[in-house]
Amino acid sequence: MGTAGDVIVGDRLTKFYGHDRGVEDLTFSVAPGEVFGFLGPNGAGKTTTIRTMLDFIRPTSGTIRLFGLDAHHRGPEIHARVGYLPGELALYERLTGERYLRDFASFRGGIEFGHAGNLAERLGLDLSKRIKDLSHGNKQKVGLVQAFMHRPDLLIMDEPTQGLDPLVQQTFYAMLDEERARGTTVFLSSHVMPEVERVCDRVGIIREGRLATVSDIGDLKARVRRRIELHFDGPAPARAFENLPGVLDVRGHGDELSIAIEGSVDPVIKEAARHTVVNVETHEPSLEDLFLAYFGPNGEAPADDTSGGGNPDPGGAP
Amino acid sequence: MSGLFAKTVRDQRRALIGWGLGLAAIALMYAAFYPSIKDSASDFDKYLQNLPDAIRNVIGGDFTTPAGYLRSETFSSMGPVLFLVFAIGAGARAIAGEEEDGTLDLLLSTPIRRRQLLVDKIGAMVLTATALATVLFLTLWLVGPPFDLTVPAVDLGAACLLLLLLGLAFGAIALAIGCATGHRGLALGITGGFAVFAFIVNALAPSVDALAWLRPLSPFRWYLDPDPLVSGITPANVLVLLGIAVAGYLVAWYAFERRDLAA
């Protein structure tokens, strides 16, 4: 699985905590320059996977390699090229942002500080304040600068936009786009669809410790179901929507229609434009919707083949 | 000097100033009390003769000489208490404290090896404890003579060195437990409990035969016997206390390298 140049290669990676499952039999790879999303509900094993990548914990069996090096045996060489943002950020509260970042620059062998200053300025982060006096969002910015400041070849981020206000999220996405343009590989975990849709090229879906599927973001979007509520200025023309491509179900009550769509919403929007629409409401697809799309109403995972996931074309879907 | 070592020392700067001032103040206070206690020393000694052996073993029992006074007042009571509290706290905090705070993850996401992290933390612990021992030595050495509290600098230095090593030994035990478990409270509790137990065993063993075999296992056994204020350095005692510290550091390293870190 994967090719020699892959930045991350998990090979039957398994981690148990005593009898408790962490992750089981994860086989996947991330190519250079790829933005890879690790999508799954809380407790699915996302953080466990990331912590094995950084050698905080060791696999029970299987291996994980970064830049072709074993995560456990070659930690320092790997870490020099990695920027990491943890899911639960804990900083040295008594230090100022600048002191903190300068310390981390020295832990990284004295990298030049200019880039960190630029990033902080861009994020609107006041580096002269003590970290304990910063808001949650501003602490998160310190974490981001820390992850980006040494221009890493690989960014590993656990739920990166958690706790960022929407404006900062946009800046973060812009920073990520620049990194992508520079050729940086990105591995990020998330439990929300929109974040993954926005930034990722490929997505691995992890459920109960197993990699259920890996798919291109295009395929994911084509499969995912979302619901649109349309509010018309008169009786809702339910009929007009029922036979449009991708429409699964149309429910009407009075002036309102609730339409379930699989894949592109374009046909529905085009049809709606022929009528007078007072209001449109869309619901972001939830993980449950996604699982439903991939695994059907019974929620059974695709046949447990020997690859343990990583199959870009799963069965199971209706 | 590594960035992490510098940071660790810097983090303790304020605590170190506080501890240093406190230690100096206490040493000064003991020195200042010496003249009045010396004058009534004969009464004191009579009183001491009536105490049970075990208690006399603990407090020393000879107030008439500067060495006896220092041993009883400074090096048997407040000295070890302060050094152990400082060293055990630092040992428990070094790794387990950072792990519980969650700050260890980011530290180890940099190219710093676990071994290097431990070396830097131990280096900072040794440096700060040495600074405190030096403060104690200098204070007693400088303010002792005006109060007639004079012992040879070599002997005073030997006592301060053994106190430092006693602190480092217990600090290393706390560090090892913290590295093995990741729990700061556990490291504090077990090491603190062991310190109290070891102190009592060492005090009671000379008069309680059933405890005699336990005494060599108490680090306190290797601290003031023979009395450094009288006979200077005893190499065996230095080696045993140093050995405990080094063994603690090695156990810490072994455990920390192999363990999964808590999220």
Q: ipTM score here?
A: 0.85
In a domain, A261, yes or no: yes
- What residue in A sits closest to B112 (Cα-Cα)? A76
Residues A187 and A72 placed together within one structural domain of the fold: yes
As for how many domains chain B has, the answer is 1
Record: contact B110-A54, CB cut-off 8 A: no
What SS3 class is residue B3? helix
As for how many domains chain A has, the answer is 2
CB proximity B13 to A under 8 Å: no
In a domain, A299, yes or no: no
Q: What is the pLDDT of residue A3?
A: 66
Are residues B207 and B53 in contact, defined by beta-carbon separation less than 8 angstroms? yes
In a domain, A129, yes or no: no
Are residues A188 and A157 in contact, defined by beta-carbon separation less than 8 angstroms? yes
- Of A176, A195, A221, the last residue of a domain is A221
Residues A217 and A234 placed together within one structural domain of the fold: no
In a domain, A254, yes or no: yes
Chain A: give the shortest CA distance to residue B183, in Å.
Answer: 16
Chain A: give the shortest CA distance to residue B96, in Å.
Answer: 14
In a domain, B38, yes or no: no
Checking if the pLDDT of A312 tops 70, the result is no
Structure confidence by residue, pLDDT tens digits, A241-257:
888 888 888 888 888 88
Structure confidence by residue, pLDDT tens digits, A92-107:
999 999 999 999 999 9
Place of tokens 């729990």: B183
Record: contact B113-A76, CB cut-off 8 A: yes
A56: which chain B residues are within 8 Å (Cβ-Cβ)?
105, 108, 260-261, 263
Separation between Cα atoms, residue B29 and residue A30, nearest integer Å: 67
Size of interface A-B (CB pairs under 8 A): 70
Which of B102, B103, B112 has the CB atom closest to A107's CB atom?
A: B112
Record: contact B111-A76, CB cut-off 8 A: yes
Which of B106, B111, B260 has the CB atom closest to A57's CB atom?
A: B260
Helix (H) or strand (E) holding B240: helix B235-258
Which parts of chain B sit beneath pLDDT 50?
none
Least confident of A291-300, A308-317, B246-255: A308-317
Residues A168 and A214 placed together within one structural domain of the fold: yes
A101: which chain B residues are within 8 Å (Cβ-Cβ)?
none
Checking if the pLDDT of A315 tops 70, the result is no
Q: What is the pLDDT of residue A212?
A: 86
In a domain, B253, yes or no: yes
In a domain, B60, yes or no: no
- Of A221, A241, A275, the last residue of a domain is A221
Q: Which amino acid is at B240?
A: V
- Better-scored residue on pLDDT, A1 or B35: B35
Residues A240 and A197 placed together within one structural domain of the fold: no
Structure confidence by residue, pLDDT tens digits, B157-197:
999 999 999 999 999 999 999 999 999 999 999 999 999 99
Residues A157 and A268 placed together within one structural domain of the fold: no
In a domain, B49, yes or no: no
Are residues A116 and A101 in contact, defined by beta-carbon separation less than 8 angstroms? yes
Which of B102, B108, B261 has the CB atom closest to A90's CB atom?
A: B102
In a domain, A248, yes or no: yes
In a domain, A250, yes or no: yes
What SS3 class is residue A191? coil
Calculate mean pLDDT across residues A168-189. 91
Q: Which residue of B110, B116, B259, B260 to mutate against A (max A Cβ within 10 Å)?
A: B110
In a domain, B91, yes or no: yes
What is the per-residue burial (b if ≥16 Cβ within 10 Å, else e) of B65-81? ebbbbbbbbbbbeebbe
Structure confidence by residue, pLDDT tens digits, A26-35:
999 999 999 9
Which of A92, A94, A103 has the CB atom closest to B3's CB atom?
A: A103
Q: What is the pLDDT of residue A267?
A: 87
User: Roughly what angle, to the nearest 10 degrees, separates helices B184-204 and B79-92?
Assistant: 150
Record: contact A86-B105, CB cut-off 8 A: yes
H-only helix segments in A183-256: 193-199, 217-223, 238-242
Range of the domain at B102: 3-29+74-258
Q: What is the pLDDT of residue B60?
A: 59
Which of B2, B103, B261 has the CB atom closest to A92's CB atom?
A: B103
Checking if the pLDDT of A307 tops 50, the result is no
pTM here? 0.85
In a domain, B44, yes or no: no
- What residue in A sits closest to B102 (Cα-Cα)? A90
Provide CB contacts within 8 A for A26, sequence distance 6+: A10, A12, A13, A14, A45, A49, A62, A206, A210, A211, A308, A309
In a domain, B22, yes or no: yes
Residues A186 and A207 placed together within one structural domain of the fold: yes
Q: What is the pLDDT of residue B207?
A: 82
Q: What is the CATH number of the domain that holds A277?
A: 3.30.70
Q: Do strands A256-262 and A247-253 pair parallel, antiparallel, or not at all (unpaired)?
A: antiparallel
Residues on chain A bordering chain B, Cβ-to-Cβ distance under 8 angstroms? 17, 47, 51, 54-58, 75-77, 79-80, 82, 84, 86, 88-92, 94, 103-104, 106-110, 143, 146
Q: What is the CATH number of the domain that holds A174?
A: 3.40.50.300
Q: What is the pLDDT of residue A271?
A: 86
Residues A75 and A17 placed together within one structural domain of the fold: yes
- What residue in B sits closest to A91 (Cα-Cα)? B103
B263: which chain A residues are within 8 Å (Cβ-Cβ)?
47, 51, 56, 88
Structure confidence by residue, pLDDT tens digits, A50-80:
999 999 999 999 999 999 999 999 989 999 9
In a domain, A145, yes or no: no
Checking if the pLDDT of A309 tops 80, the result is no
Record: contact A88-B260, CB cut-off 8 A: no
Q: What is the pLDDT of residue A299?
A: 54
Residues A275 and A210 placed together within one structural domain of the fold: no
- Better-scored residue on pLDDT, A91 or A303: A91
Sign of the alpha-carbon dihedral angle for A174, A179, A181, A185:
negative
Residues A238 and A198 placed together within one structural domain of the fold: no
Range of the domain at A240: 225-284
Checking if the pLDDT of A231 tops 70, the result is yes
In a domain, B99, yes or no: yes
Percent of all residues in chain A with a pLDDT value above 70, rounded to a whole number: 90
Q: Do strands A82-85 and A154-158 pair parallel, antiparallel, or not at all (unpaired)?
A: parallel
